[in-house]
Amino acid sequence: MLRGFYTAASGMIAQQRRTEMLTNNMANANTPGFKQDQSSLRAFPKMLMERMESGSSAKPGLNLPGSSTIGEMNTGVYVQETTPLFTQGDLEETGKNTDAALVDIAMPIDRATGTAGSVFFTVDNGQGAVSYTRNGNFTLDQQGFLTTPNGNYVLSNTGSRIHLDNDEFTIDGSGQVAANGRPVSALGVAYAADPNALIKEGNGLFRMENGQALPQAVTNANVKYSLRQGSLERSNVDASRSMTDMMTAYRAFEANQKVLQAYDRSADKMVNEIGRV
């Protein structure tokens, strides 16, 4: 019976975490450049149950224990991991010069993982390290530096901050920034061959687990992308699908809850009624 408690409880915890993930996706359905999370459920390792039995050996006077196989036992499921889905979001035209959107044209497939690579803007995370984002909703701060909505400095392809006198500038398809007809800098665009190796930092930022910097996309001839000024990449969250998945997770949580309540009633009878007899 205790095994049933553990199985039902693990199912409830897994569905609760899945609901929290889907809720976060829904909350960021209108966040530019947001990449929705997807979860994978996995069963706990199976255990092979055996019954120890007493038996007589070939030698007289010796009693050695034997065993007989009962079968496999599984103790429920858990959320193994949550990974972002790095598919291209729809583009929304804003008309603002400070907005820029990355457009994936041709991304190589990683042979080890079978996933397509992705490109990202490079920004200063405020701690002396480089982070990556798909949110191109940039702005100019009081000093004239190009920043993200959270105040992180946007970096050029040389790793320096981008300074502009005003918002009257242009960004071409390759990321070259020009003001008054003269080139000023170039937006840093990094390429991740395996985007799943990136770790979410929050606020639409990603980082490498080992702290290493991603290579610039322009150095890889197989990576084809373009930038579109005056547009933003919308979130790739499918609101209707997320709502359906959320209802499914909620119903699975309720089913496990009812199983747990049934075990609880059985345990109550076993302790208070059968034990009294």
- What tens digit of pLDDT does each residue of 44-79 get? 767 677 777 665 444 555 454 666 777 776 677 878
Number of domains in the chain: 2
Same domain, 201 and 244: no
Q: Is there a domain that residue 58 lies in?
A: no
> What is the spatial distance between Cα 267 and Cα 46, in angstroms, rounded to a whole number?
25
Same domain, 227 and 257: no
Q: pLDDT value at position 66?
A: 64
Q: How confident is the model at residue 7 (pLDDT cuts 50, 70, 90)?
A: confident
Question: Domain range for residue 43?
Answer: 2-50+69-82+238-274
Q: pLDDT value at position 127?
A: 81
Mean pLDDT, the chain, rounded, equals: 86
Show contacts of 111-114: CB within 8 Å, 24+ apart. 112/194, 113/194, 113/196
Q: Which residue in this structure is represented by tokens 């609101």?
A: 239
Three-state secondary structure of the chain: CHHHHHHHHHHHHHHHHHHHHHHHHHHCCCCCCCCCEEEEEEECCCEEEEEEEEEECCCCCCEEEEEEEEEEECCCEEEEEEEECCCCCCEEECCCCCEEEEEEEECCECCCCCCECEEEEEEECCCCCEEEECCCECEECCCCEEECCCCCEEEECCCCECECCCCCEEECCCCEEEECCEEEEEECEEEECCHHHEEEEECCEEEECCCCCCCEHHHCCCCEEEEEECEEECCCCCHHHHHHHHHHHHHHHHHHHHHHHHHHHHHHHHHHHHCCC
Same domain, 199 and 249: no
Q: How far apart are the first and last CA of the chain?
A: 20
Same domain, 99 and 182: yes
pLDDT per residue over 108-125, tens digit each?
998 877 889 999 999 998
How do beta strands 189-192 and 100-106 pair? unpaired
Give percent above pLDDT 90 in the chain.
Answer: 56
Same domain, 207 and 248: no
Same domain, 97 and 151: yes
Specify which residues 161 forms β-bridges with: 155
> What is the spatial distance between Cα 119 and Cα 106, in angstroms, rounded to a whole number?
11
pLDDT per residue over 244-260, tens digit each?
999 999 999 999 898 88
Q: Is residue 1 predicted with pLDDT exceeding 90?
A: no
pLDDT per residue over 167-202, tens digit each?
899 999 999 999 988 999 999 999 999 998 899 888
> What is the spatial distance between Cα 164 and Cα 143, in angstroms, rounded to a whole number?
9
Q: Is residue 89 predicted with pLDDT exceeding 80?
A: yes
Q: Average pLDDT, stretch 34-43?
A: 87
Same domain, 113 and 213: yes
Q: pLDDT value at position 153?
A: 95
Q: How confident is the model at residue 276 (pLDDT cuts 50, 70, 90)?
A: low
Same domain, 206 and 253: no
> What is the spatial distance between Cα 128 and Cα 53, in angstroms, rounded to a whole number?
65
Q: HSE, CB side, 13 Å, CA atoms: give it for residue 222.
A: 10
Specify which residues 116 forms β-bridges with: 109
